[in-house]
A = this chain, B = another copy of it.
Amino acid sequence: MKKLMNDVDQIVDEMLNGMVAAHPQALKRVDGTTVVVRKDAPVNGKVGVVSGGGSGHEPAHGGFVGKGMLDGAIAGEVFTSPTPDQVFEAIKAVDGGAGVLLVIKNYTGDVMNFEMAGEMAEAEGISVKQVVVNDDVAVEDSSFTSGRRGIAGTIFVHKIAGAAAEDGKSLDEVQQIAEGVIKNVKSMGMSLHPCTVPAAGKPGFELDDNEMEIGTGIHGEPGTERTALKPAKEIAQILFDKIHEDMKLESGEEIAVMINGLGATPLMELYVMNHTVADILKQHGLHVTETIVGEYMTSLEMAGASLSILRLDETRKKYLAAEADTTAFKR
């Protein structure tokens, strides 16, 4: 296992310290926790938006903490849900009196632990609502999930729900807007190379020199098909077709697109993918209002990419375009 690290047991703690040390004007860590919040948290009278999950998906989720996106993020151990008490700490740290929305990726552990934290907070008088993101169309259930997994489409939820909260929407409204995003965002990924959880010390799966896997989850959960490596055009078509089959996109619709790198994929390749995807979208008469290309929801050093498509309406379009000032996403 080749990683830039010191002690396996300290990797999350050192990562969080390194993150806050890099951005002292933007972020602060809640003492004694794995919670990172915006420097000015809690923002009085604003709905707090919180997300998190296992570490290893950086910049998710700490990189999206800041004005216009998340108020706080909780980092679990690598690929492991944060515990309810950590999530509870995040809720308390960001509650500005208007309640807190939890954005949960659909993994059994995350859903259970975030829900439990929500109940703990409600018991202390903090209003908490939640949404569960399940954008991955690859498989219906997996080793970590009952139902579809939450992957890179989650970033659209952070962005749009965060902007709605910043705009002064109520907790119910922010939840409703987030639900609208979730219903209208679908994603699918593929991998060229596995990743290694530090505590495990060896890759989560194996791929031959000329093999790729379609539909892999962001923790290396099995996908739908393992085949010989194909050109980017064919890969993009497979990902698009599966998403399209689910979304039934119609010519003339406005969409936002994300080409997300899984951690070890050069930006050059992500832009080649975008070139290819843009062609496919054009053929379908889709109007791309916004394209996001880069590493947003990664899987340690996994190589590969995911495609996400978000169907827009006026609300989603407005809040997607709104100001965001986080360390990994600015506009």
Contact = CB atoms under 8 A, between A and B. Distances in A.
B232 A272 contact: no
Interface in A292-311: 292-293, 295, 298, 300-301, 303-305
Given A298-B267, A330-B330, A331-B330, A278 B2 contact: no
B2 A273 contact: no
A32 interface: no
Contacts of A205: none
A270 B17 CA distance: 11
A2 to B, nearest CB: 4
Q: Name, among A21, A193, A233, A272, the residue most crowded by chain B CB atoms within 10 Å (CB to CB).
A: A272
Interface residues of A, number: 59
A272 B4 contact: yes
Interface in A266-286: 266-276, 278
Interface stretch (A55-63, A106-114, A124-132, A135-143): A55-63
Contact of A266 (B56, B209, B269): B56
A11 interface: yes
Given A18-B293, A21-B291, A303-B264, A269 B229 contact: no
Contacts of A266: 3, 56, 58, 263-264, 298, 300-301
Contact of A5 (B209, B232, B259): B232
Nearest to A7: B231
A22 interface: yes
A36 to B, nearest CB: 11
Given A19-B271, A23-B291, A264-B266, 17 more contacts: A2-B229, A3-B266, A4-B192, A4-B232, A4-B273, A4-B305, A5-B269, A6-B232, A7-B231, A15-B275, A16-B271, A18-B275, A18-B276, A19-B293, A263-B264, A264-B303, A330-B330
8 nearest interchain CB pairs? A18-B275, A18-B271, A264-B264, A18-B274, A58-B267, A4-B269, A22-B291, A330-B330
